[in-house]
């Protein structure tokens, strides 16, 4: 099990085994199955999403998308506040609900009151280096 920090705005994990805190598990229990004999390990049974800065243990295939979104803890850099992530997500492909979740995690006020294009603009403005 390798410990990672999510460096992208968010990451979706669809398979493998995760090592999570109780709080991380509770909010994602619908897509996880506890591994017998392991208190903090869970088999992924559906899409599980983590946001930037979360630390997870992951034992599974690290594909191209995950390589760009996860960084092993021992190599994790100090947070670069000039850019939230290196490989921008194609925000237009996300649903409004996903954009609202992202915007809320970034501190954008009342994201549920914005339309999809406004959410994309607000998130993009936060992503851009100054």
What pLDDT is recorded for position 82? 36
Query: Would the pTM of this model clear 0.75, i.e. be above it?
Result: no
On whether residue 81 sits in a domain, the answer given is no
Handedness of CA 70, 93, 49, 78 (dihedral sign): positive
**3-class secondary structure, 23:** helix
Are 16 and 67 found together in one domain?
yes
Are 36 and 97 found together in one domain?
no
Question: Which of the residues in the chain have pLDDT under 50?
Answer: 76, 79-88
What pLDDT is recorded for position 33? 93
- Structural domain including 59 reads 2-75
| Structural domain total, the chain | 2
What pLDDT is recorded for position 18? 92
On whether residue 100 sits in a domain, the answer given is yes
On whether residue 82 sits in a domain, the answer given is no
């Amino acid at each position: 099990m390798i410990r990672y920090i999510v460096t992208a705005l968010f990451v979706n994990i669809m398979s493998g085994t995760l090592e999570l805190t109780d709080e991380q598990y509770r909010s994602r229990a619908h897509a996880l199955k506890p591994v017998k004999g392991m208190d903090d390990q869970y088999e992924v049974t559906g899409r599980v999403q983590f946001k930037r800065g979360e630390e997870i243990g992951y034992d599974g295939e690290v594909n191209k998308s995950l390589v760009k979104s996860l960084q092993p803890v021992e190599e994790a850099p100090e947070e670069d506040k000039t850019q939230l992530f290196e490989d921008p997500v194609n925000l237009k492909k996300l649903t409004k609900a996903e954009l609202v979740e992202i915007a809320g995690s970034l501190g954008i006020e009342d994201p549920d009151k914005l339309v999809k294009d406004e959410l994309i603009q607000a998130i993009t403005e936060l992503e851009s280096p100054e």
